[in-house]
Amino acid sequence: MPGVRQQAASQVGMRAVAGRALPWVVPVFLLLLWQWASSAGLLPARFLPAPKAVLSAFVTLTASGELWTHVRVSTLRAFSGFAVGGGLGLVLGLLTGSLHWAETLLDTTLQMIRNIPPLALIPLVILWFGIDETAKLFLVALGVFFPVYINTFHGIQSVDRGLLEMGKCYGLSGWRLYREIILPGALPSILVGVRFSLGFMWVILIVAETISARSGIGYMTMNAREFMQTDVMVVGILLYALLGKLADLLARGLERYWLRWHPAYQAVR
């Protein structure tokens, strides 16, 4: 009997492993196909280097410390831009969401500006700030501002009226009502904005760094293009994918922590 049970347990274990492995089947297959095409000479290194070459470029760049410097510079840029733009978006969203006069005063203007793609401002931004750090900070901040702003505004507006009424009946008002009911009620929506912003943050930064920079992943990639180092270019592109994924994981971690009361984030009992 114990043998049978053990077998059953190991079967369940195998199934769990299979479940974990399944999402990786396609990427691994594509990687193998890519390697095979490169080795067979179907894919010239001029267009796309073999995975092995990319890996060795990655190792060389890491060993020299160059990669780390670029990643650090880019990450710092991304998050300082996010802090400025996201912070401003949050504050203004809270303001226009909570105070009717602020909405009347600011919302129309902000909605107009929202329709300008941040990247369309690049010529002006270069004119204003040169190709300095400020230019990249400005672009990233502008890019992440609107997702945070709109979702914060919407979150505040859509707080359950019933809960607000209840809070007032139970003697909450002013800051207490805000802290106990309005902010937590708006939080799911605010976090949607944050998550969207974190993705968009990298997109903006890539473009900004590609156009003009003296360091960062975008610079590394563009520099490699000058010397036809396709392997380094692919390392740069993959790094963006990795950093984007990490930012998303961060946002999901925040959601899981702050929204742990939410049925959608509760572990099945």
Partner 1 sequence: MSITFTSRPIPASQWVSEPDPRSRGVSVSINDVSIALGGRTVLEHFNIEVPAGEFVAIVGRSGCGKSTLLRSIVGLETPQAGGIALGSASACTHKPDIRIMFQDSRLLPWKRILANVTLGLDSSQMNAAKNVLAQVGLAERANDWPATLSGGQRQRVALARALVHDPSLLLLDEPLGALDALTRIEMQQLIEEVWRSRGFTSLLVTHDVAEAITLADRVILIERGQVALDEDVNLPRPRTRGSARFAALEERILGRVLQGRSITRTNPCSSARSVDAE
Among residues 102 and 254, whose Cβ is nearest to partner 1? Answer: 254
Q: How far is the CB of 163 from partner 1 (least distance, A)?
A: 6
Q: Is residue 167 close enough to count as binding partner 1 by CB under 8 A?
A: yes
Task: Tell me how many residues contact partner 1 (CB under 8 A).
Answer: 22
Please say whether the beta carbons of 189 and 160 come within 8 A.
Answer: no
* Cβ 89 vs Cβ 81: under 8 Å: no
Say which amino acid occupies 67: L
Among 204, 198, 90, smallest CA distance to 137 is for 204
Q: How many Cβ atoms from other residues are within 10 Å of residue 76's Cβ?
A: 13
- Answer for which of 40, 263, 267, 268 binds partner 1 (CB under 8 A) is 263
Which of these ranges, 78-86, 115-123, 183-191, 234-242, lies near partner 1 under the rule CB under 8 A? 183-191
Binding mask 126-165 for partner 1 (x = CB under 8 A): ------------------------------------xx-x
Q: Is 25 among the residues that bind partner 1 (CB under 8 A)?
A: no
Q: Is 173 one of the binding residues for partner 1 (CB under 8 A)? A: yes
Q: Long-range contacts: 244-247, Cβ < 8 Å, 24+? A: 244/199, 244/202, 247/78, 247/198, 247/199, 247/201, 247/202
Q: Residue 74 in contact with residue 259, Cβ under 8 Å?
A: no
Decide whether 112 or 169 has the Cβ nearer to partner 1. Answer: 169
**Between 223 and 262, how does the x/- string for binding to partner 1 read (CB under 8 A)?**
-------------------------------------xxx
Site string for partner 1, 185-214 (x = CB under 8 A): x-x---------------------------
Q: Least distance from C-beta 258 to partner 1, angstroms?
A: 9
Six token digits for residue 239: 């790094």
* ∠ CA 62-65-71, rounded to 5°: 80
Helices (H), 99-160: 100-114, 122-129, 133-157
User: Considering beta carbons, is residue 121 or 163 the nearer one to partner 1?
Assistant: 163
Binding flag, residue 109, partner 1 (CB under 8 A): no
* Smallest separation (angstroms) from partner 1 to the CB of 160: 8
Residue 243: half-sphere exposure toward Cβ, Cα within 13 Å: 27
Distance of CA 45 to the CA centre of its chain: 31
Candidates 26, 40, 42, 169: give the one binding partner 1 (CB under 8 A).
169
Q: Which residues bind partner 1 (CB under 8 A)?
A: 162-163, 165-173, 180-181, 184-185, 187, 260-263, 266, 269
